[in-house]
Amino acid sequence: QVQLQASGPGLVKPSETLSLTCTVSGGSLGLHSWSWIRQSPGKALEWIGSLYNGGSTNFHPSLTSRGTISVDTSKTQMSLTLTSVTAADTAIYYCAREYCSGNSCWNSYLEYWGQGILVTVSS
C-alpha cells in the first residue's frame, strides 16, 4: 500500500524559505508523477505544482518564480521549496501521487495523498 508522509516546519517567518519533504513508502518515486496541493483556511484546494516521471516539473503560474520541486529517489523523498513566503502561503500542504488503474496513469488526477501538514507564515 502506497503511503505518503509530509514533514517540515509548522511555522515559517515572512520572507523566508519554506521547505517540505514528502517521504513515500510502498511505491517507486521514479515510476510515477507527484504533486503538491495546498488548502488555505476556508479556501479551495490549490494545485501548486507537479513533478512528472520523466523528471520535468510544472508550477502554478503564480508560484513559478518562487517554487522548486525535486526528488531524491535514493531516499524515496520528494521536496517542495517555496521562497520569499508571505502570510498568503499559510495553508495545509499535501503531497500526492497520480491516479493509476491497470496499466494506465493520469498525472492530473490524484489517488494517494499524504496526511497534510499545516504551515503558518508569521513572525
List residues near other proteins by CB under 8 A.
Answer: 43-47, 58, 60-61, 94, 96, 99, 101, 106, 108-111, 113-116
Residue 77 cell numbers, joined: 523523498
| Phi/psi of residue 50, nearest 5 degrees | -135, 150
Q: Which is nearer to other proteins, 16 or 66 (CB)?
A: 66
- Looking up cell 513533478 gives 51
* DSSP β-bridge partners for residue 11: 120
Q: Shortest gap between Cβ of 106 and other proteins (angstroms)? A: 7
Q: Shortest gap between Cβ of 22 and other proteins (angstroms)? A: 12
Q: Shortest gap between Cβ of 74 and other proteins (angstroms)? A: 26
Give the separation between CA 114 and CA 26, rounded to whole angstroms. Answer: 13
